Amino acid sequence: MFAEGVEKAQDVNAAFASPEDAARYWAVGAKQVPTETFSYPGSAGQAQTARLYRGDDGAPVLIFIHGGGWTNGSIALNDRACGALAAEAGWNILSISYRLSPKHPFPAGLDDCRAALRWLRGGGLGFTPARIAIGGASAGGNLALACALAEGGALAALLLFYPVCGDDFDTASYQRYAEGYGLALARMQELFSLYDPEMLHRDNPLLYPLKGDLSGLPHCEIISAELDVLADDSRHLAERLKQTGVSHALHIEPGVTHGFINRGRLIPAADQCLTRAAHALKSLFESEPT
């Protein structure tokens, strides 16, 4: 059913006693770059943790938003992805935390991500505003898309790993991979109900980006998993971007499941896809004036 290493990775992932244990396990073998951990001002004035993975001097910066269905996830669980992007692309990667549901439902987490983008654009770390990109994985990809739609301005790029884009649970991928492939259809429905408990935002493109006007987005690099309920979200996003004339690239990695990108310790395709993403970022960097 799965490509080599994927089934074992799913078994391992289910065995961790805590997210911290999981983060330590998956970080083994990750590329090492200089890091700094600090706080940025969240949208309600609270301190939110962020970690900067240092790239080359003068390089652009990518805000990276972790996944976890808007309810969990962490900077540490994405250490492998962020370290690889910084090391291979030469970009600075700013991995951010944000408030989580159900304690903080929509739009609290999004508001924090928007605050991080505004803070960075305002000189929070001294980067050039026009050389800022944003991205993320799963729910983090949803938040990155929503930030780009809400904040506008000149973003260098979007980098999305298996993003949540809409609420159509009747797509072929939702039906084909509804159970037995890690992220289940029923779990996605539950996560939406935790993020938007009163279902007041069903038509809001900041929750469901496919319902919005995507014409103003920057170049969008999309990397997704074949055996994933969200695979068709990525396909539909790419089709919408094509229709609106937005530059984009879509890669769907065969034989892997949702969340694979940080599991390179067991799934070689994970690190290969990070290299693909890093090369895409690097090409944008090399084409920009210094």
State residue 289's pLDDT score: 44
Query: For 153-157, what is the mean pLDDT?
Result: 90
Catalytic residues: 138, 228, 258
State residue 290's pLDDT score: 42
Question: What confidence tens digit (pLDDT) does each residue in 213-255 have?
Answer: 999 999 999 999 999 999 999 999 999 999 999 999 999 999 9
Q: What are the tokens at 169?
A: 């649970």
**Burial zone of 277 (CB within 10 Å; 0-12 exposed, 13-18 middle, 19+ buried):** buried
Using the predicted structure, report yes or no on whether residue 145 has a pLDDT greater than 70.
yes
Give every CB contact of residue 151 below 8 A, 6+ residues apart in sequence.
114, 117, 118
Using the predicted structure, report yes or no on whether residue 141 has a pLDDT greater than 70.
yes
Using the predicted structure, report yes or no on whether residue 1 has a pLDDT greater than 80.
no
Query: For 4-21, what is the mean pLDDT?
Result: 75
Alpha-carbon distance of 29 to 100, in angstroms, equals: 29
Query: For 196-214, what is the mean pLDDT?
Result: 95
Alpha-carbon distance of 233 to 27, in angstroms, equals: 28
